[in-house]
Amino acid sequence: MAALATAALLMMAVTRRPGLVMRVIAPRWGRWLCAVAGIRLEVEGLEFLAHPAVIVANHQSLLEVFIIPAVIPPKTRLVGKKELGRIPFFGWAFRATGQILVDRQDNAGARATIDESLAHLPAGISVFVCPEGTRSQDGTLLPFKKGAFHIAMKLKLPVVPLTLDGAHLLMPKHGWLPTPGTVRVRISPPIDTASWTAERLDQHVSEVRGVIAQNLAQLRAG
């Protein structure tokens, strides 16, 4: 992990192009670390990530720090809590490559950070958000916050639900070392947001959460 993060920082220092660094490093980072940890990914629906979108996913484990870059397109900015930026090597690379880090304790500040980041977002970039806001203790789907859906409306991008299961078993919320095993990932078709309105936002959030909840039940049923 340190070697890859250092490579990312060095590339950033030389090129000053965070997008290039993400395209080169992120997929390799995710796949290599999953392989080292003995994590096998079963992914379906990758074709639904072919175009820019706001990707929303359930949040089960810190392992997703490696799993998600192995799955999503390199031209994606991730929204995460500011504490991630303090993790040695990984966090430094996360900050250097233009990921969106917010203070969950400061709602107004978080919105300002997101608005500023979106204003400078290059064309053709997707945004990844975990709308639960925190990891589930046991893999149960938590209520969704609305930030990701405001982003989709602001950017006029579709929402792509991404459902994963199994990560919470391999590395629970308070665990430190992963157990080898399989994580299943299902990517659903894009949901058009062109007709979404702020007045019906709760309904839109419920619709997307329902897709992920249904996928989660089906993945667990085999």
Write out pLDDT tens, residues 130-144.
999 888 888 899 999
Share of the chain above pLDDT 70, in %: 78
The answer, yes or no, to whether residue 9 has pLDDT greater than 50, is: no
- Spell out the SS3 assignment of the chain: CHHHHHHHHHHHHHHCCHHHHHHHHHHHHHHHHHHHHCEEEEEECHHHHCCCCEEEECCCCCCHHHHHHHHCCCCEEEEEEHHHHHCCCHHHHHHHCCCEEECCCCHHHHHHHHHHHHHCCCCCCEEEECCCCCCCCCCCCCCCCCHHHHHHHHHCCCEEEEEEECHHHHCCCCCCCCCCEEEEEEECCCECCCCCCHHHHHHHHHHHHHHHHHHHHHHHHC
At the topology level, CATH places domain 2-221 in Glycerol-3-phosphate (1)-acyltransferase (3.40.1130)
**Which whole number is the average pLDDT over 152-165?**
96
Question: pLDDT category, 222, cuts 50, 70, 90?
Answer: confident
Q: By mean pLDDT, which of 9-18, 46-55, 106-115, 184-193 is the weakest?
A: 9-18
> CB 51: neighbour CB atoms within 10 A?
12
**Which whole number is the average pLDDT over 170-190?**
89
Structure tokens at 139: 């893999």
- pLDDT reported for residue 60: 93
**Which whole number is the average pLDDT over 165-181?**
86
**Digit-coded pLDDT (tens) for 41-96:** 999 999 999 999 999 999 999 888 889 988 999 889 888 777 766 665 566 666 66
**Which whole number is the average pLDDT over 143-157?**
94
The answer, yes or no, to whether residue 107 has pLDDT greater than 80, is: no
